């Protein structure tokens, strides 16, 4: 298979979903995963509090076994959280929950993308920390044709399991790419440039995210606070980095 899809020669590249991540990560110096209305916003909120977050690819009984193996609490689905067990995939709920030093966060999209990096440094990006992520990337010397950054929008899933590109993740990826460019990175691929343009030309980011399809789904289920938390542009300076299986606040190793 030819590699026409690799966006070669560009310092900043953009792609969708786990399959795209797996194909393009091997050429990258760093991968940034973006899942605005769940995974990476939740990771950022938890890491802000000092929690080590272990991503896990499956929401099944193996997640509980993995949590026990690493000595961590297991985050459950939003609707399964209780007063006695408040850790869930809800960013708003995680902010209210008691501190736990270690947390397993199952996510078929975000965690699968992180796993697809194949040893390349992984950073969790979102609207909340886009500026900080962009500055960190440039500070590490990434975002050049020789040390390219791959920004991957997670997207959602249609009922048949196929990828549904999600507006909120396009805007989150665009925010990271725009911040990277402001910090001095450059050489955007056409795909990355278009993501940055989508973010730059969104006049009311909060209202746009709040009215997108994924947010409507959350609102219908009573999770308005998650939309609010996820839309807080540059509210955090925390940059979660995947080190030894867990996202922590630290400096990423260079590849």
Quick check: 252 pLDDT over 70? no
Quick check: 93 pLDDT over 70? yes
Which helix (H) or strand (E) segment holds residue 173: the answer is: helix 167-182
- Measured CA to CA, the distance from residue 109 to residue 197 in angstroms comes to 24
- Measured CA to CA, the distance from residue 208 to residue 32 in angstroms comes to 23
- Measured CA to CA, the distance from residue 100 to residue 6 in angstroms comes to 40
* Minimum mean pLDDT range among 1-10, 17-26, 96-105, 171-180: 1-10
218-250: string of b/e by CB count within 10 Å (b at 16+)?
beeeebeebbebbbbbebbebbbbbeeebbbbe
Q: If you average pLDDT over residues 118-135, what whole number do you get?
A: 95
- Per residue in 62-92, pLDDT (tens digit) is 999 999 999 999 998 787 778 778 898 899 9
Going by their DSSP bridges, the two strands 12-16 and 149-153 should be labelled as parallel
Q: If you average pLDDT over residues 161-165, what whole number do you get?
A: 93
The domains found in the chain, sorted by start residue, are: 8-249 (3.90.1560.10)
Residue corresponding to tokens 């590249």: 13
Helix, strand or coil for residue 176?
A: helix
- Per residue in 169-208, pLDDT (tens digit) is 999 999 999 999 999 988 999 999 999 999 999 999 999 9
Sign of CA dihedral 120, 121, 124, 130: negative
Quick check: 108 pLDDT over 50? yes
Q: If you average pLDDT over residues 226-247, what whole number do you get?
A: 95
Q: What is the pLDDT of residue 80?
A: 79
């Amino acid at each position: 298979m030819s590699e026409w899809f690799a966006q070669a020669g560009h310092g900043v590249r953009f792609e969708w979903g786990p399959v795209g991540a797996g194909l393009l990560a091997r050429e990258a110096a760093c991968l940034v995963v973006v899942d605005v209305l769940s995974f990476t916003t939740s990771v950022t909120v938890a890491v802000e509090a000092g929690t080590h977050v272990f991503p896990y690819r499956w929401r099944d009984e193996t997640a509980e076994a993995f949590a026990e193996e690493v000595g961590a609490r297991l985050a459950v689905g939003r609707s399964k959280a209780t007063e006695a067990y408040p850790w869930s995939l809800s960013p708003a709920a995680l902010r209210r929950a008691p501190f736990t030093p270690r947390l397993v966060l199952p996510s078929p999209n975000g965690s699968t993308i992180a796993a697809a990096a194949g040893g390349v440094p992984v950073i969790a990006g979102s609207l909340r920390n886009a500026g900080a992520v962009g500055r960190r990337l440039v500070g590490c010397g990434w975002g050049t044709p020789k040390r390219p950054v791959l920004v991957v929008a997670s997207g959602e899933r249609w009922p048949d399991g196929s990828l549904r590109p999600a507006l909120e993740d396009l805007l989150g990826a665009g925010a990271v790419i725009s911040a990277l460019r402001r910090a001095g990175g450059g050489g955007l691929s056409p795909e990355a440039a278009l993501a940055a343009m989508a973010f730059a030309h969104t006049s009311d980011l909060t209202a746009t995210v709040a009215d997108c399809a994924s947010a409507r789904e959350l609102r219908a289920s009573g999770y308005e606070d998650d939309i609010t938390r996820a839309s807080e542009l540059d509210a955090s300076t925390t940059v979660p980095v995947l080190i030894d299986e867990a996202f922590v606040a630290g400096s990423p190793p260079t590849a």
